[in-house]
Amino acid sequence: MPTITSPRVRRGTAAALTASALLVSLAACGDDGDDDTKDGGKKADLTVLAAASLTDVFTTAQKAYEDKHPGTRLTLSFAGSQELAAQVRAGSPADVLVTADTKTMDGLKGETGTPTVIARNRLVIATRDGNPKKIKALKDLTGDGLKVVLAAPEVPVGRYSQQVLDKQHLKVRPVSQESNVRGVLSKVELGEADAGIVYQTDAATAPDKVDAITIPDAQNAVADYPAATLKDSDHQGAAAEFVQWLRSPEAQRILRDAGFQRP
């Protein structure tokens, strides 16, 4: 004899199945690693790998971004671009990469999203405060007994420095080659070198300790700063939002105030 199920039981079973399906659907929607914030953005803890020359300006940008995106927290890690690239290749967990040259970024095409240039920079000669050696131009860096420090050739600023020296057919023998631009600036600040070639934005961070000697545009090099998300990021939405923000009027104003040029 067939079993007869009452309408009440059928309705109760259907309701239970509907509720269960709804819970599964909600769980799936909330399990993408990023939560929506009230302003429509993404909520996440982002690790940003950035070139050493961005240390001061990105610290300022961090506060501005977090104030406008209360669901997101930025952890900033600064080093020479070549060191950052090595970290990415080694699989260090991070979400965004910003380098001081396109060459380094292009070497990571398999690891990043599409890069976008967020700023540009130029070189200056940094001398000890008061410029005691009376350095006026690149050719003065070849003087006998002058202690000049440069960044290593694999570092973007070191490569740019060599380009401008080669363009003028100048041979400079540095007393040391540093792993990032801040190392060069520090040597000059401490009096361990008479001069060094740095970005104009780095010299501007130590106006009481170094003098900045302008290099004419015809002799100078332009450094592009590309930013990109990292493909292994667990927060693709939030990372992309931060990269996009770096091109926004607010971020560009912060970069301009620090001496960076428009992309």
Q: Residue 191's domain is classified under what CATH number? A: 3.40.190.10
| 138 and 185 share one domain | yes
CA distance 97 to 232: 12
8 A C-beta contact, residue 134 and residue 186: no
- Which domain covers residue 152, as residue numbers? 122-222
Backbone angles phi, psi at 16, to 5 degrees: -65, -40
Give a yes or no: residue 246 inside a domain: yes
| 95 and 141 share one domain | no
| 108 and 97 share one domain | yes
Q: What is the pLDDT of residues 168-200, one digit of tens each?
A: 999 999 999 999 999 999 999 999 999 999 999
Domain total in the chain: 2
Distances (CA, A) of 12 to 9, 20, 22, 24: 5, 12, 15, 19
8 or 80: which carries more pLDDT confidence?
A: 80
Q: Give the model's pLDDT for residue 42.
A: 57
| 116 and 182 share one domain | no
Q: Give the model's pLDDT for residue 6.
A: 44
Helix (H, G, I), strand (E, B) or coil at 210: strand
8 A C-beta contact, residue 154 and residue 82: yes
Q: What is the pLDDT of residues 100-136, one digit of tens each?
A: 999 999 999 999 999 999 999 999 999 999 999 999 9
| 171 and 239 share one domain | no
| 69 and 156 share one domain | no
| 218 and 106 share one domain | no
| 136 and 189 share one domain | yes
The Cα angle at residue 99 between residues 259 and 211, in degrees rounded to 5: 35
Give a yes or no: residue 1 inside a domain: no
